[in-house]
Amino acid sequence: GCMMLQVDFLPKSLGTLIAVSYGLIDSRTFGQESDSNNQHRHALILSANKVAFSASLLNETDTYTGPFAILTTLVFKHVVTNIGDAYNPQTGVFTAPLRGAYHFQWCISSYEDETTAAVLVKNDQQVFSAWEYRGFFTTMNDDMGVSSASNGASLLLEEGDAVSLRLFPLCVIFDYGLHISSFSGHLLFPM
Protein backbone atom coordinates (compact mmCIF):
# COMPACT_ATOMS: atom_id res chain seq x y z
CA GLY A 1 0.00 0.00 0.00
CA CYS A 2 0.90 3.62 -0.33
CA MET A 3 0.29 6.62 1.82
CA MET A 4 0.07 10.22 0.72
CA LEU A 5 2.34 12.78 2.32
CA GLN A 6 1.48 16.43 1.74
CA VAL A 7 4.62 18.54 1.61
CA ASP A 8 3.22 22.00 0.69
CA PHE A 9 4.29 23.26 4.10
CA LEU A 10 7.84 21.94 3.75
CA PRO A 11 10.68 23.94 2.25
CA LYS A 12 11.53 22.66 -1.23
CA SER A 13 14.88 21.30 -0.04
CA LEU A 14 13.26 19.18 2.70
CA GLY A 15 10.58 17.90 0.32
CA THR A 16 13.33 16.94 -2.09
CA LEU A 17 15.30 15.21 0.67
CA ILE A 18 12.25 13.12 1.59
CA ALA A 19 11.63 12.22 -2.06
CA VAL A 20 15.27 11.22 -2.63
CA SER A 21 15.34 9.22 0.65
CA TYR A 22 12.32 7.17 -0.37
CA GLY A 23 13.61 6.67 -3.91
CA LEU A 24 10.89 8.75 -5.54
CA ILE A 25 13.41 11.05 -7.19
CA ASP A 26 16.64 9.76 -8.68
CA SER A 27 19.36 11.81 -7.00
CA ARG A 28 21.57 11.49 -10.11
CA THR A 29 19.03 13.23 -12.36
CA PHE A 30 17.40 15.59 -9.87
CA GLY A 31 17.22 19.14 -11.17
CA GLN A 32 16.80 18.01 -14.78
CA GLU A 33 13.01 17.69 -14.58
CA SER A 34 10.65 20.18 -16.16
CA ASP A 35 8.67 22.74 -14.17
CA SER A 36 5.53 20.64 -14.60
CA ASN A 37 7.24 17.70 -12.85
CA ASN A 38 8.38 19.99 -10.04
CA GLN A 39 4.75 20.93 -9.39
CA HIS A 40 4.13 17.38 -8.24
CA ARG A 41 6.38 17.86 -5.21
CA HIS A 42 3.32 19.06 -3.28
CA ALA A 43 1.89 15.57 -3.14
CA LEU A 44 4.58 12.92 -2.94
CA ILE A 45 3.48 9.32 -2.90
CA LEU A 46 5.65 7.37 -0.51
CA SER A 47 5.50 3.62 -0.47
CA ALA A 48 5.24 2.49 3.13
CA ASN A 49 6.96 -0.74 4.10
CA LYS A 50 4.56 -2.28 6.57
CA VAL A 51 5.78 -5.31 8.51
CA ALA A 52 4.32 -6.54 11.81
CA PHE A 53 3.29 -9.86 13.34
CA SER A 54 1.90 -11.17 16.61
CA ALA A 55 1.20 -14.79 17.42
CA SER A 56 0.61 -17.01 20.43
CA LEU A 57 1.90 -20.53 20.74
CA LEU A 58 -1.28 -22.58 20.52
CA ASN A 59 -4.59 -22.31 18.77
CA GLU A 60 -7.06 -23.71 21.28
CA THR A 61 -6.13 -26.41 23.76
CA ASP A 62 -4.36 -26.32 27.12
CA THR A 63 -1.00 -27.93 26.62
CA TYR A 64 2.75 -27.97 26.97
CA THR A 65 5.35 -27.92 24.22
CA GLY A 66 8.54 -29.78 25.08
CA PRO A 67 10.74 -30.91 26.60
CA PHE A 68 13.13 -31.65 23.73
CA ALA A 69 16.70 -32.93 23.85
CA ILE A 70 18.00 -30.07 21.66
CA LEU A 71 17.36 -26.36 21.09
CA THR A 72 14.03 -26.35 19.19
CA THR A 73 12.32 -23.64 17.15
CA LEU A 74 8.95 -22.73 18.64
CA VAL A 75 6.10 -22.50 16.14
CA PHE A 76 3.59 -19.86 17.23
CA LYS A 77 0.41 -21.04 15.48
CA HIS A 78 -2.31 -18.62 16.64
CA VAL A 79 -1.50 -15.65 14.39
CA VAL A 80 -3.53 -12.52 15.11
CA THR A 81 -1.49 -10.14 12.94
CA ASN A 82 0.84 -10.86 10.02
CA ILE A 83 1.10 -7.66 8.01
CA GLY A 84 3.52 -8.22 5.17
CA ASP A 85 3.43 -12.04 5.65
CA ALA A 86 7.02 -12.10 6.92
CA TYR A 87 6.20 -14.55 9.77
CA ASN A 88 5.66 -18.18 8.74
CA PRO A 89 3.21 -19.94 11.12
CA GLN A 90 4.24 -23.36 9.75
CA THR A 91 7.93 -22.97 10.62
CA GLY A 92 7.94 -20.28 13.37
CA VAL A 93 10.47 -18.24 11.41
CA PHE A 94 10.28 -14.51 10.64
CA THR A 95 12.15 -13.57 7.44
CA ALA A 96 13.06 -9.91 7.00
CA PRO A 97 11.55 -8.65 3.72
CA LEU A 98 13.89 -5.64 3.62
CA ARG A 99 16.93 -4.18 5.35
CA GLY A 100 15.91 -2.28 8.45
CA ALA A 101 15.68 -1.99 12.21
CA TYR A 102 13.16 -4.41 13.71
CA HIS A 103 11.88 -4.91 17.24
CA PHE A 104 10.90 -8.31 18.68
CA GLN A 105 9.33 -9.22 22.01
CA TRP A 106 8.22 -12.48 23.56
CA CYS A 107 6.58 -13.90 26.63
CA ILE A 108 6.99 -17.53 27.63
CA SER A 109 4.95 -19.24 30.32
CA SER A 110 5.19 -22.33 32.47
CA TYR A 111 2.80 -24.03 34.84
CA GLU A 112 3.28 -25.74 38.20
CA ASP A 113 6.94 -26.59 38.78
CA GLU A 114 8.09 -26.64 35.14
CA THR A 115 11.03 -24.55 33.90
CA THR A 116 10.72 -22.54 30.71
CA ALA A 117 13.54 -20.87 28.80
CA ALA A 118 13.72 -19.56 25.24
CA VAL A 119 16.22 -17.60 23.19
CA LEU A 120 15.77 -15.18 20.29
CA VAL A 121 17.88 -16.38 17.38
CA LYS A 122 19.04 -14.39 14.34
CA ASN A 123 20.49 -16.59 11.59
CA ASP A 124 21.55 -19.25 14.13
CA GLN A 125 23.13 -16.63 16.42
CA GLN A 126 21.63 -16.47 19.92
CA VAL A 127 20.70 -12.88 20.84
CA PHE A 128 18.73 -12.62 24.13
CA SER A 129 16.92 -15.15 26.31
CA ALA A 130 14.15 -15.28 28.86
CA TRP A 131 14.03 -17.81 31.74
CA GLU A 132 11.55 -18.85 34.38
CA TYR A 133 13.19 -21.47 36.58
CA ARG A 134 10.80 -23.06 39.07
CA GLY A 135 11.81 -26.62 39.90
CA PHE A 136 14.85 -26.25 42.17
CA PHE A 137 13.62 -23.24 44.17
CA THR A 138 9.99 -24.29 44.55
CA THR A 139 8.89 -25.23 48.07
CA MET A 140 5.68 -26.73 49.33
CA ASN A 141 4.42 -23.25 50.27
CA ASP A 142 4.93 -21.69 46.83
CA ASP A 143 1.98 -20.87 44.65
CA MET A 144 2.15 -23.40 41.84
CA GLY A 145 0.19 -21.50 39.18
CA VAL A 146 1.31 -19.99 35.91
CA SER A 147 4.59 -18.09 35.79
CA SER A 148 6.19 -16.29 32.89
CA ALA A 149 9.30 -14.54 31.60
CA SER A 150 9.68 -12.01 28.81
CA ASN A 151 12.29 -10.09 26.90
CA GLY A 152 12.75 -7.97 23.79
CA ALA A 153 15.39 -6.84 21.32
CA SER A 154 15.86 -4.37 18.49
CA LEU A 155 17.94 -5.79 15.65
CA LEU A 156 19.38 -4.51 12.39
CA LEU A 157 18.37 -7.11 9.81
CA GLU A 158 19.37 -7.55 6.20
CA GLU A 159 16.80 -8.69 3.64
CA GLY A 160 16.39 -12.46 4.07
CA ASP A 161 17.70 -12.65 7.66
CA ALA A 162 15.79 -15.24 9.71
CA VAL A 163 14.61 -14.66 13.29
CA SER A 164 12.95 -17.24 15.52
CA LEU A 165 12.40 -18.12 19.15
CA ARG A 166 13.90 -21.42 20.31
CA LEU A 167 13.10 -23.47 23.40
CA PHE A 168 16.13 -24.54 25.41
CA PRO A 169 16.74 -28.30 25.88
CA LEU A 170 14.78 -30.01 28.67
CA CYS A 171 12.47 -26.99 29.10
CA VAL A 172 8.76 -26.68 28.40
CA ILE A 173 6.47 -23.85 27.41
CA PHE A 174 2.81 -23.66 28.40
CA ASP A 175 -0.07 -22.00 26.57
CA TYR A 176 -3.84 -22.29 26.57
CA GLY A 177 -6.96 -20.48 25.40
CA LEU A 178 -5.95 -17.13 26.92
CA HIS A 179 -2.80 -17.11 24.73
CA ILE A 180 -0.21 -16.32 27.41
CA SER A 181 2.89 -17.40 25.44
CA SER A 182 3.48 -15.04 22.53
CA PHE A 183 5.99 -13.78 19.98
CA SER A 184 5.73 -10.43 18.16
CA GLY A 185 7.84 -8.28 15.92
CA HIS A 186 7.65 -5.25 13.66
CA LEU A 187 9.71 -3.04 11.41
CA LEU A 188 10.78 0.13 13.19
CA PHE A 189 12.17 1.76 10.05
CA PRO A 190 13.90 0.76 6.80
CA MET A 191 17.63 1.37 6.46
The answer to whether position 86 is within a domain reads yes
The answer to whether position 26 is within a domain reads no
Does 49 or 184 have the greater pLDDT score?
184
pLDDT at 24 over 80: no
pLDDT at 21 over 70: no
Task: Please work out, in degrees rounded to the nearest 5, the angle formed at the alpha carbon of residue 62 by the alpha carbons of 58 and 66.
Answer: 70
Helix (H), strand (E) at residue 37: helix 35-38
- State how many domains the chain has: 1
Could you tell me the end-to-end alpha-carbon distance of the chain, in angstroms, rounded to an integer? 19
Instruction: Give the domain extent around 161.
Output: 51-190
When pLDDT is cut at 50, 70 and 90, the band that residue 175 belongs to is confident
What would the mean pLDDT of 80-88 be, rounded to a whole number?
97
The answer to whether position 28 is within a domain reads no
The answer to whether position 29 is within a domain reads no
The answer to whether position 9 is within a domain reads no
Residue 56, pLDDT score: 95
When pLDDT is cut at 50, 70 and 90, the band that residue 136 belongs to is low
pTM score, two decimals?
0.72
> Residue 86 sits in a domain of what CATH number?
2.60.120.40
- Neighbour tally for 167: CB within 10 Å: 22
What would the mean pLDDT of 30-52 be, rounded to a whole number?
52
Calculate what percentage of the chain has a pLDDT beyond 90. Answer: 51
124 sits in the region (left: phi over 0; alpha: psi -120 to 50; else beta) called: left
The answer to whether position 107 is within a domain reads yes
Calculate what percentage of the chain has a pLDDT beyond 70. Answer: 67
Residue 16, pLDDT score: 42
The answer to whether position 18 is within a domain reads no
Helix (H), strand (E) at residue 47: strand 43-47
Residue 41, pLDDT score: 39
When pLDDT is cut at 50, 70 and 90, the band that residue 63 belongs to is confident
The answer to whether position 36 is within a domain reads no
Of 38-42, 69-73, 74-78, 132-136, minimum mean pLDDT range: 38-42
